Amino acid sequence: MTGIHIKLQEKFGAAVREIHNQHGDETAVADRSAFLTIVQFVRNNHNIDCDMLTDITAVDGLSLKWKPRFEVIYHFYSTKKNHRLRLKVKVDEQDPVVPSLAAEWGVANWLEREVWDMFGIRFEGHPDLRRILMYEQFSGHPLRKDYPYSKRQPLIGPKN
Amino acid sequence: MEMMNEMGEAGFSTTKLDQAIGWARKFSIFQYPFVTACCGMEYMATACSHYDVDRFGAGLPRFSPRQSDVLFVVGTISHKIAPVLKRIYDQMADPKWVVAFGVCTCTGGFYDNYATVQGIDTIIPVDVYIPGCPPRPENVLDGLMKLQDKIQRQKQEV
């Protein structure tokens, strides 16, 4: 099925802030307050039926002067209908919080921990939001654009 | 082998203790492969029958640091794994040597970033550096022979 993003906007109105479709990649930008409702609709509606969460990632728009600064990106896939949907949520630097999907998808647990580790975006309702790639002693979030390029935090050996 | 050539008709040879021990040690390299990344594939290619490190007496990897002589650090070392590497090195009994296999272990390679140790010689002493991304098996064998050379020449602690 094509046109999922259009369908979402028809259903949710202003809660879907914008939609676009580049080369068949259908994308909808969801409002944070309606995000969980939209995700549940995407999962349970029998025409959309996206039963698989492929990936969660984020983009830091600091150097592009984005307002709000971060975009959290979710990739959904339907194994039964063989189509994909990309859902984005924009969050601000002052309040980088998104509802967690860990209860709905087990895979979201680790993916959200990775986004927390790399970008410092918190997931409300996550059962165990710890770092997953970096070590506990690490401070900061290395994929944020304001993380200093040459900053090293070695556990042993010379500090720079 | 110089020791064999010196054997005359009498069937004995003279040598120095250091040289004799060095000869024995350089042909019984028990390695500990500390493999973390893609260089491991090249390490395996070198170890297997096509290139066959057993010709150099290095054909028996030990997966316990207590039983090994040479630590082969093969692949990118991140800051997170660095304390483990140091601990493995500390657990090895003397005499011991370290080979930095691949450019990531030598200098950090192109991983000039927050996660990667910029050369394992910032953590443990290194005897032979084998650069390359990954190094060709010939390159590895060259490094192995340089290590043998080093073992042969050094003062042997008994």
Q: Which chain B residue has the Cα nearest residue A152?
A: B114
Touching check for A152 and chain B: CB below 8 Å? yes
Q: Mean of the per-residue pLDDT values for chain A?
A: 90
- CATH ID of A4-124, from 1.10.340.30, 3.40.50.280, 1.10.390.10, 3.30.460.80: 3.30.460.80
Domains of chain A, by residue range, sit at 4-124
B85 close contact with A: CB closer than 8 A: no
Give domain limits for chain B: 30-151
Distance from CA of A120 to the nearest CA of B (A): 16
Chain A hits for B86, Cβ within 8 Å: 156
Per-residue model confidence as pLDDT tens digits over A139-150:
999 999 999 988
What is the pLDDT, as a whole number, of residue A133? Answer: 93
Q: What is the CATH number of domain B30-151?
A: 3.40.50.12280
- ipTM of this model? 0.80
In terms of C-beta density within 10 A (0-12 exposed, 13-18 middle, 19 or more buried), how is residue B33 classed?
buried
pLDDT single digits (tens) A103-150: 889 999 999 999 999 999 999 999 999 999 999 999 999 999 999 988
Q: Note whether A136 contacts B: Cβ–Cβ < 8 A.
A: no
Question: A83: which residues sit within 8 A by CB, 6+ positions away?
Answer: A1, A2, A4, A50, A77
Per the CB < 8 Å rule, is A153 touching B122? no
Percent of chain A with pLDDT over 90: 63
Nearest CA in chain A to B85: A156
Closest CA to B117 of B32, B37, B33: B37
Quickly tell me which residue has 């093969």 as its tokens: B74
